[in-house]
Structure 1
Amino acid sequence: MKALRPALLAAIGLLAACSPQKKEAAPGPGQRTAIRFATDWRAEAEHGGFYEALAEGEYAKRGLDVTLIQGGPGVNVSQLVASGAVEMGDGSNSFLVMNLARQKVPVKAVAAFMQKDPQVLIVHPDQGINSIADLRGHPILLSDAAIGDFWVWLKAKFGFKDEQVRKYTFNSAPFLADKRVAQQGYLTSEPYTIEKQSGLRPKVFLLADEGYPGYAAMVLASDKLIASNPAAVKAFVEASAKGWRDYLYGDPKPADALIMKDNPEMTADVLAQAREKMKAYGIVDGAEAKTLGVGAMTDARWKSFFDMASGAGVYPKDMGYKAAYTLQFLPAPTAAK
Structure 2
Amino acid sequence: MPKTLDRRHFMALMGAGVALPAMARIARAANPLTMQAAWINDAEFTGYFTAIDNGYYKDEGLDLTYLSGGPDVIPESSIVAGKADLALTTPDTTIKAIIEQGAKFKIIGTQYQKNPHGIISLASKPINNPKELEGKTLAVPPVNVISVEVMLKINGVDRAKVNIVPYAYDPTPLIKGEIDASLDFTTNVPYTIKQASGVDAHFFLLYDYGYTIFQDTVVVIEDTLASKRKELVAWLRASRKGWAENLKDPNAYPPKFAETWFKGTGRTIDNEVFFNNAQKPLIENPGGAFAMSEEGIAKTLDALGQAGIKGSREMFDTTLLQEV
Tell me the TM-score normalised to structure 1 length: 0.81
Decide whether the 8 Å contact of 2:78 with 2:84 is kept in 1: yes
Distance 2:317 2:232 in 1: 11
Decide whether the 8 Å contact of 2:120 with 2:186 is kept in 1: no
Show the 5 A alignment for 1:177-216: 177-178=176-177, 181-216=180-215
Distance 2:53 2:64 in 1: 11
**CA offset at residue 156 of structure 1?**
3.1
Distance 2:167 2:46 in 1: 27
Distance 1:114 1:128 in 2: 25
Q: Confirm whether residue 299 of structure 1 aligns to residue 290 of structure 2.
A: no
Cα pair distance change 1:218/1:313, threshold 3 Å:
closer
> 2:138: which partner in 1?
140
**CA offset at residue 147 of structure 1?**
1.6
**CA offset at residue 254 of structure 1?**
4.6
Distance 2:126 2:242 in 1: 41
**1:201-223 deviations in Å (ceiling 9; x for gaps):** 12111222334321112221111
Letter in 1 for 2:63: D
Distance 2:96 2:145 in 1: 15
**CA offset at residue 257 of structure 1?**
4.8
Decide whether the 8 Å contact of 2:116 with 2:186 is kept in 1: yes
Cα pair distance change 1:255/1:110, threshold 3 Å:
farther
Distance 1:245 1:214 in 2: 22
**CA offset at residue 94 of structure 1?**
2.8
Show the 5 A alignment for 1:269-280: 269-279=270-280
Distance 1:300 1:190 in 2: 29
> 1:21: which partner in 2?
none
Q: Confirm whether residue 314 of structure 1 aligns to residue 315 of structure 2.
A: no
**CA offset at residue 158 of structure 1?**
4.0
Could you list the runs of 5+ residues in structure 2 that have no partner in the other structure?
A: 14-26
**CA offset at residue 111 of structure 1?**
1.0
Tell me the TM-score normalised to structure 2 length: 0.85
Distance 1:152 1:82 in 2: 30
Secondary structure, in 3 states, of the residue corresponding to 2:296? helix
**CA offset at residue 97 of structure 1?**
3.1
Letter in 2 for 1:106: K
Letter in 2 for 1:258: T
Secondary structure, in 3 states, of the residue corresponding to 1:31? coil
Distance 1:259 1:158 in 2: 44
> 1:118: which partner in 2?
116
> 1:16: which partner in 2?
none
Pick the aligned partner of 1:259 from 247, 257, 261: 261
Secondary structure, in 3 states, of the residue corresponding to 2:211? coil
Cα pair distance change 1:116/1:201, threshold 3 Å:
same
**1:11-55 deviations in Å (ceiling 9; x for gaps):** 999xxxxxxxxxxxxxxx953222221111110101111111111
Distance 1:5 1:128 in 2: 25
Distance 1:152 1:60 in 2: 44
Q: Confirm whether residue 171 of structure 1 aligns to residue 173 of structure 2.
A: no
Decide whether the 8 Å contact of 1:101 with 1:322 is kept in 2: no
